[in-house]
């Protein structure tokens, strides 16, 4: 029986057992990759330091490092480069196995690789950790210029446009003037769309999956609850937790933020099929407050897993960046913003997505067309919810492969 | 500008401003009604103390008080009694104005009252605060028998069946053998269904709105995140917060639990129409972490409001009771459970409900019919999400009034 004090650490039937708050006495205060950690497949670009990088939200950064990975070979005229943009908790490791420096296999390993839909024998694929992230690119867990301490909560608010500008600098450094394609799902799709609007001449094709032209009120509501979960954790310490002892970081708050989002990432159907009402622990004739159903064990697992590999302040920053995502901001109107896109747009939506509902991707395609562009909508028919873009790779491939091969508009 | 230390209390751009955690230095540690507080319209029934009340989950309670309200007059043959069952954060005050002892107007004031759909000039209406609640019926904030301290976290886990058994005792005490109707939405609908299964001969009609025959994995997932939010709040103190100073109760955790559920109570459409991307505070050229969009202000408002009138331990107990809701438990099968219902069933579902999706109420009607009963499904076509059962009272009335008037099967 669970939660009834069997382990002697909690005497009341209400007191949550330790797994409720996935602390581990050995868990570092942040799951960020930090200098000195194994590099894995990471490469690094240091952006020029001649003048500060001024962010859209008004903040400034004096030095920026971008961590990225590449696969395949850039051809002589640099015409085969594909930029893959990652989602909220992704990183540069889009493809490849887990290993030193990469706690998990590539987040799109079924899609990116030799002989796979984004075939690295043909395309030169680049994936960069986003600005404000925690896997090698400058973010709250990074040291300040010329000082040992982290930015922590002083890292300025970033937007998709700031992220895309760092990616454009990376493209410059790699000698890529024009991407054959920019591809991304969820937050990655927001970046792909900003690429199309900010640098129309540098994008030959744009594939945006399960994303939106501007965050809706419901999306803001979801992400804001995650931020409040982190702020509620006393171990978050207003963002100053990097010197905390192992096990004393804001893991519980970050895990709770992830649990909420994990529900929005999947669907009612898939939860019913996978978990139903099965208990983790048999009810055994007595009901206890913290007995778990299987779905709760699943959420705890995903919450704890993210706490091991992510940084709470980056979670705050990047969810805020998604809430601030609005292609129309400062551009007159959404129509005017979308009219800047010259690349053909492949917009993909997922039938069961409750976080970025399919109608948003249909609207994206319709709005690009209405603004004079070329757009095609492709439906991913899946019960897997928002995460289908990471799971149903064959359906992603069915639209993505011919789109990458297409020669129109080049 | 918000969140930038303008008030001198937080120096970092990340540090959440005070409204993020809706503490108030004058807010009692629990929002529960407690003896000595104004009675309002409450009446009380003390259940017999000759032997302990053994709960389905194995716990026992020695004394139970049930707080309830009534409207109208019971007729001579006690044939005009209607039981209204409240939802998670409701209470006995289904009808009537706010006032001493009732911080808010009746939660179904548009539906219950003289000349209203459940017409108290015709029906004798009863509404009781649920067991484990916090508005007069025994719950965690209640004193233990013969002792001054509260149950707190030692209050045992309760189920819908326990709640319904206390309501049956109340019916006995009021001289009501058979309800003309038992009516409820959401958690109230779970009680109505259990009434039909547990006491078929005592229910002449059963109306269940926006509810389910058994909690789904997704519903368990949602409620479990709320419980974890409360457990994350250090001021929850493993449930021992009743002696905390004003302002020092688990308000932030309870508020966050409410914020998450508030998103599930409404819909994407209604959030877009009502809030869109409007900011509470103009962005004013500089983006800050805790600047809020209007929808965030709305969630903060609802979170803080609940913290003022509810008890965190009751929130834990009642969400757990909803997760444990399963008409089939111990009854062989869902079919066998539903076959016990002899009352005609009116099942209502809401087109935009994302928490208790409409298919569940269609299935309820179909399953009752398949089990040999009489059931009718009525659709509430509304953008208001789950809360439509509290908002779209005319659509509720359109089905409920003729159902109450019907004479079939009596």
Q: Tens digits of per-residue pLDDT, B111-134?
A: 999 999 999 999 999 999 999 999
Q: Exposed e or buried b for every residue in A257-279, given b needs 16+ CB within 10 A?
A: bbbbbbbbbbbbbbbbeebebee
| Confidence (pLDDT) at A252 | 94
Which residue of A lies nearest to B284 if distances are taken between CA atoms?
Answer: A57
Per the residue annotation, which of A311, A353, A387, A392 is the catalytic one?
A353
Instruction: Sort B297 into a burial class: Cβ within 10 Å, 0-12 / 13-18 / 19+.
Output: middle
Is A295's CB within 8 Å of B224's CB? yes
From the list A56, A156, A295, the residue facing B220 with the nearest CB is: A295
CA distance B203 to chain A (A): 28
From the list A21, A157, A220, the residue facing B287 with the nearest CB is: A157
Chain B residues with CB under 8 Å of A253 CB are: 232
Question: Which is more confidently placed, A14 or A152?
Answer: A152
> Cβ(A193)–Cβ(A83) under 8 Å?
no
Report whether pLDDT(A1) > 70.
no
CA distance A85 to chain B (A): 23
Active site residue A10: no
Is A277's CB within 8 Å of B214's CB? yes
Which residue of A lies nearest to B319 if distances are taken between CA atoms?
Answer: A289
| Confidence (pLDDT) at B50 | 80
Is A232's CB within 8 Å of B21's CB? yes
Per the residue annotation, which of B91, B353, B387, B392 is the catalytic one?
B353
pLDDT band of residue A26 (cuts 50, 70, 90) is confident
Is B221's CB within 8 Å of A152's CB? no
CA distance B410 to chain A (A): 36
| Confidence (pLDDT) at A9 | 33
| Confidence (pLDDT) at B21 | 56
Element (H, E) at B404: helix B393-405
Per the residue annotation, which of A110, A386, A387, A393 is the catalytic one?
A386
CA distance A23 to chain B (A): 12
* A:B CB pairs within 8 Å: 211
Which residue of B lies nearest to A23 if distances are taken between CA atoms?
Answer: B232
Q: How much of chain A, in percent, has pLDDT values that exceed 70?
A: 92
Which residue of A lies nearest to B250 if distances are taken between CA atoms?
Answer: A232
Q: Across residues A361-375, what is the average pLDDT?
A: 98
CA distance B273 to chain A (A): 9
Is B286's CB within 8 Å of A324's CB? no
Handedness of CA A347, A348, A351, A354 (dihedral sign): negative
From the list A154, A256, A299, the residue facing B221 with the nearest CB is: A299
A346-359 tens-digit pLDDT:
999 999 999 999 99
**Of A163, A316, A308, A142, nearest to A239 (Cα)?**
A316
Chain A residues with CB under 8 Å of B232 CB are: 21, 229, 232-233, 252-253, 256
Q: Which two structure tokens, joined as six digits, stand for A276?
A: 């139903």
**Of B166, B164, B171, B170, nearest to B189 (Cα)?**
B164
Chain A residues with CB under 8 Å of B294 CB are: 217
Residue from A15, A154, A252, A289 to probe the interface with B (highest B Cβ count within 10 Å): A289
| Confidence (pLDDT) at B355 | 98
Task: Please state whether B244 falls in left (phi above 0), alpha (psi between -120 and 50) or beta.
Answer: beta
- Whole-number CA gyration radius for chain B: 22
CA distance B23 to chain A (A): 12
Alpha-carbon distance B260 to B275, whole Å? Answer: 17
Per the residue annotation, which of B386, B387, B392, B393 is the catalytic one?
B386
Is B221's CB within 8 Å of A13's CB? no
**Number of helical H runs and strand E runs in chain B:** 11, 12
Chain A residues with CB under 8 Å of B313 CB are: 14
Alpha-carbon distance A404 to A389, whole Å? Answer: 17
**Of A292, A300, A261, nearest to B320 (Cα)?**
A292
Alpha-carbon distance A177 to A83, whole Å? Answer: 12
| Confidence (pLDDT) at B215 | 98
CA distances from A316 to A83, A319, A408, B22 (A): 25, 6, 40, 19
Report whether pLDDT(A10) > 80.
no
Chain B residues with CB under 8 Å of A299 CB are: 221, 224-225
A269-299 tens-digit pLDDT:
999 999 999 998 766 778 999 999 999 999 9
Residue from B277, B303, B355 to probe the interface with A (highest A Cβ count within 10 Å): B277
Active site residue B381: no
Which residue of B lies nearest to A218 if distances are taken between CA atoms?
Answer: B268
- Domains for chain A: give ranges and CATH numbers: 25-216+325-405 (3.40.50.1820)
A63-99 tens-digit pLDDT:
999 999 999 999 999 999 999 999 999 999 999 999 9
**Of B207, B191, B183, B209, nearest to B382 (Cα)?**
B209
Is B234's CB within 8 Å of A234's CB? yes
CA distance B164 to chain A (A): 17
Alpha-carbon distance A310 to A29, whole Å? Answer: 10
Is B232's CB within 8 Å of A256's CB? yes
> Cβ(B195)–Cβ(B169) under 8 Å?
no
Which residue of B lies nearest to A277 if distances are taken between CA atoms?
Answer: B217
Number of Cβ atoms within 10 Å of the Cβ of B35: 10
User: For residue A148, what are the contacts with CB-CB under 8 A and spacing of at least 6?
Assistant: none
Element (H, E) at A168: helix A160-174
CA distance B43 to chain A (A): 30
Which residue of A lies nearest to B230 if distances are taken between CA atoms?
Answer: A232
| Confidence (pLDDT) at A147 | 85
A185-239 tens-digit pLDDT:
999 999 999 999 999 999 999 999 999 999 999 999 999 999 999 999 999 999 9
Chain A residues with CB under 8 Å of B233 CB are: 232
Instruction: Identify any residues that bridge with B137 across adjacent strands, giving them in sequence order.
Output: none
ipTM of the predicted structure?
Answer: 0.94
Alpha-carbon distance B183 to B206, whole Å? Answer: 6
Alpha-carbon distance B72 to A270, whole Å? Answer: 47
Chain A residues with CB under 8 Å of B157 CB are: 13, 287-289
Consecutive 10-residue averages of pLDDT for chain B (410 residues): 32 55 76 94 88 93 96 98 98 97 96 98 98 98 90 96 98 97 98 98 98 98 97 94 93 96 98 95 81 94 93 98 97 98 98 98 98 98 98 97 81
Is A317's CB within 8 Å of B289's CB? yes
Q: What is the DSSP string of A299-335?
A: HHHHHHHHHHH--HHHHHHHHHHHHH-BTTTTSS-HH
Q: How much of chain A, in percent, has pLDDT values that exceed 90?
A: 87
Instruction: Identify any residues that bridge with B349 across adjacent strands, giving them in sequence order.
Output: B379
Residue from A56, A223, A225 to probe the interface with B (highest B Cβ count within 10 Å): A225
Active site residue A353: yes
Going along A154-231, which residue ranges are E strands? 181-185, 206-209
Is B238's CB within 8 Å of A12's CB? yes
Report whether pLDDT(A7) > 60.
no
Which residue blocks in B179-311 are alpha helix, DSSP H?
Answer: 187-198, 217-232, 251-265, 268-274, 294-309
Is A228's CB within 8 Å of B256's CB? yes
């Amino acid at each position: 029986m669970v939660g009834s004090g069997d382990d002697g650490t909690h005497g009341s039937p209400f007191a949550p057992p330790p797994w409720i708050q996935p602390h581990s006495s050995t868990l570092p205060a942040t799951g960020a990759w930090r200098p000195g950690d194994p590099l894995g497949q990471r490469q690094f670009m240091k952006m020029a330091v001649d003048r500060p990088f001024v962010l859209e939200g008004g903040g400034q950064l004096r030095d920026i490092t971008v961590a990225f990975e590449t696969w395949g070979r850039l051809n002589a005229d640099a015409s085969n480069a594909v930029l893959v943009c990652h989602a909220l908790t992704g990183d540069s490791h889009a493809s490849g196995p887990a290993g030193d420096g990469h706690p998990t296999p590539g987040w799109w390993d079924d899609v990116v690789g030799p002989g796979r839909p984004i075939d690295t024998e043909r395309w030169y694929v680049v994936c960069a950790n986003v600005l404000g992230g925690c896997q090698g690119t400058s973010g709250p867990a990074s040291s300040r210029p010329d000082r040992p301490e982290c930015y922590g909560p002083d890292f300025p608010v970033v937007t998709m446009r700031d992220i895309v500008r760092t990616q454009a600098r990376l493209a410059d450094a790699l000698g890529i003037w024009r991407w054959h394609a920019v591809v991304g799902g969820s937050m990655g799709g927001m970046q792909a769309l900003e690429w199309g609007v900010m640098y129309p001449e540098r994008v030959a094709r744009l594939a945006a999956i399960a994303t939106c032209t501007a965050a809706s009120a419901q999306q803001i509501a979801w992400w804001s609850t995650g931020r409040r979960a982190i702020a509620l954790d006393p171990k978050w310490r207003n963002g100053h937790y990097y010197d905390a002892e192992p096990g004393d970081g804001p893991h519980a708050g970050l895990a709770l933020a992830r649990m909420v989002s994990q529900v929005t990432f999947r669907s009612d159907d898939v939860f019913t099929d996978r978990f139903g009402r099965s208990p983790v622990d048999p009810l055994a004739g007595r009901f206890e407050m913290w007995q778990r159903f299987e779905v709760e064990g699943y959420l705890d697992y995903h919450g704890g897993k993210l706490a091991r590999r992510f940084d709470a302040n980056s979670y705050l920053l990047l969810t805020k960046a998604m809430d601030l995502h609005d292609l129309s901001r400062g551009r007159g109107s959404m129509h005017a913003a979308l009219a800047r896109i010259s690349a053909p747009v492949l917009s993909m939506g997922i039938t069961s997505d409750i976080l970025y509902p399919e109608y948003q991707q249909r609207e994206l395609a319709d709005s690009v067309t209405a603004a004079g562009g070329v757009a095609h909508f492709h439906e991913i028919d899946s019960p897997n919810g928002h995460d289908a873009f990471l799971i149903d790779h064959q359906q992603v491939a069915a639209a993505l492969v011919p789109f990458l091969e297409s020669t129109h508009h080049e």
